[in-house]
Structure 1
Amino acid sequence: MISYNSENDFLFGNEAQVSVWLEAVILNEKFKLGEINYIFCDDDYLHKLNLEFLEHDTLTDIISFDYTVGKIIQGDIYISTERVEDNAKDFSVPFIEELHRVMVHGILHYCGYKDKTAKDEKLMREKENYYLQLFANRQ
C-alpha cells in the first residue's frame, strides 16, 4: 500500500495513477510492495529531519527511511515540495515531472540503487528516466 500525507499545504492530485506506476516499478525491479508512506513537507521540516537523523546541515529534496525486509519494500519518504519546485525551475522541467522523478528516486534507493559515485548516479538517472518514460507512455 502506498499512502500520501502532507505536513504543508501541498495537495497531491493523481494518487491512484502514481500508485499503480510505482508498484509497477517495484515489481519490475523484482520486489514486492509492502507499505510506503510519502510525506510532503516544506524545507524547514525536511531540514530538521536532515539535522536530527543524518547530521547534515543542508537543504535536500528527499529523505527516505528504508524499512525494507528481504524483497518487501517498506519505508517513509519525505519530500520537500519547495526543493522540488526550485529544482524544477533550475532544470527547466514541469514541477510534476520533477516530483515524479524524486518519488521514483526514493523507490529505486529501496531497490538497492545508490547515487554516491558518478557511476552509481549515472545508473540511477538512467533508471529514473526509464521509469518516467514508462509513466508518460501510460498517460
Structure 2
Amino acid sequence: MSLNIDFLDETNELTEEQTSYIEELLNFAAKLEKIEEESEVSLTFVSNEKIREINKEYRNKDSVTDVISFAMEEMGEGEMELVGLDMPRVLGDIIISVSRAYEQAEEYGHSFMREIGFLAVHGFLHLLGYDHETPEDEKEMFSRQKDILDEFGLQR
C-alpha cells in the first residue's frame, strides 16, 4: 500500500532520512486505516510565523499551533463532490510547524521524531474524518493515534 505524498519543507530543516521515516509512518497508518492505494496527501513543514498566518486566515485564531489539516473530502456549502473513474482519492493537506514540534518534543520529554510523527498521524487522522470536538470523539481519535504510533514503534 502506498500513498502519493507531496512533501514540501519550507524550513529546509528536515533531512531526507526524516521525511522518509514520516512517509513510512503515514503509509503504515494508511494501511491500518485501509486507505486506497495511490491516495494523495500533501505534507508541508513551515515556521511558527507561517502556521500562525494560516491559523489566523482559515480558523480565525491568531496564534501559533502545531498542526493544521485541510480535508479535501469535507464538503462545504454549495460544493459538489467530483467522482470519476481511475481518479485517485485526494485526502487533503497537513501543515506542521517544525519549530513547534521541536518545542513540544522538549516539553514532553521525547524525541523530535516522536513529536513530528505524532503530528503527522494526528493531521492524517483529521483528513480521514477523525476529530476531537467531543469527549467521545477525542477518546476515539487519541486512542487510534496511540495505537498507530505504538504499532509503528514510535512510543513516548
Normalising by structure 1, what TM-score? 0.86
Secondary structure of 1:65's partner?
strand
Return the offset for 1:73: 4.6
For residues 90-113 of structure 1, give each alpha carbon's deviation from its aligned partner in whole angstroms, at most 9, with x where no partner exists.
211111101100000111111211
2:149 matches 1:132: yes
Higher strand proportion (structure 1 or 2): 1
2:107 matches 1:90: yes
Contact conserved, 2:25 with 2:117, CA < 8 A, in 1? Answer: no
Which residue does 1:9 correspond to in 2?
A: 12
Contact conserved, 1:26 with 1:111, CA < 8 A, in 2? Answer: no
Which residue does 2:138 correspond to in 1?
A: 121
Unpaired segments ≥5 residues, structure 1: none
* % identical equivalent positions: 28
Distance of aligned partners of 1:81 and 1:4 in 2 relative to their CA distance in 1, 3 Å threshold? same
Query: In 2, Cα distance between the equivalents of 1:9 and 1:21?
Result: 20
Q: Which amino acid aligns with 2:69?
A: S
Whose radius of gyration is greater, 1 or 2? 2
* Higher alpha-carbon deviation: 64-73 or 75-84: 64-73
Which residue does 1:59 correspond to in 2?
A: 64
Which residue does 1:41 correspond to in 2?
A: 46
Return the offset for 1:19: 2.1
Return the offset for 1:36: 1.0
**Structure of greater relative contact order (alpha carbons < 8 Å, 6+ residues apart):** 2
Query: In 2, Cα distance between the equivalents of 1:5 and 1:19?
Result: 12
Q: Which amino acid aligns with 1:3?
A: D
Q: In the comparison of the two structures, how many residue pairs are matched?
A: 137
Query: In 1, Cα distance between the equivalents of 2:126 and 2:90?
Result: 10
Which residue does 2:32 correspond to in 1?
A: 28
Unpaired segments ≥5 residues, structure 2: 74-80
* Higher alpha-carbon deviation: 22-31 or 109-118: 22-31
For residues 42-91 of structure 1, give each alpha carbon's deviation from its aligned partner in whole angstroms, at most 9, with x where no partner exists.
11000001111111112100111111378935211110011111111221
Normalising by structure 2, what TM-score? 0.77
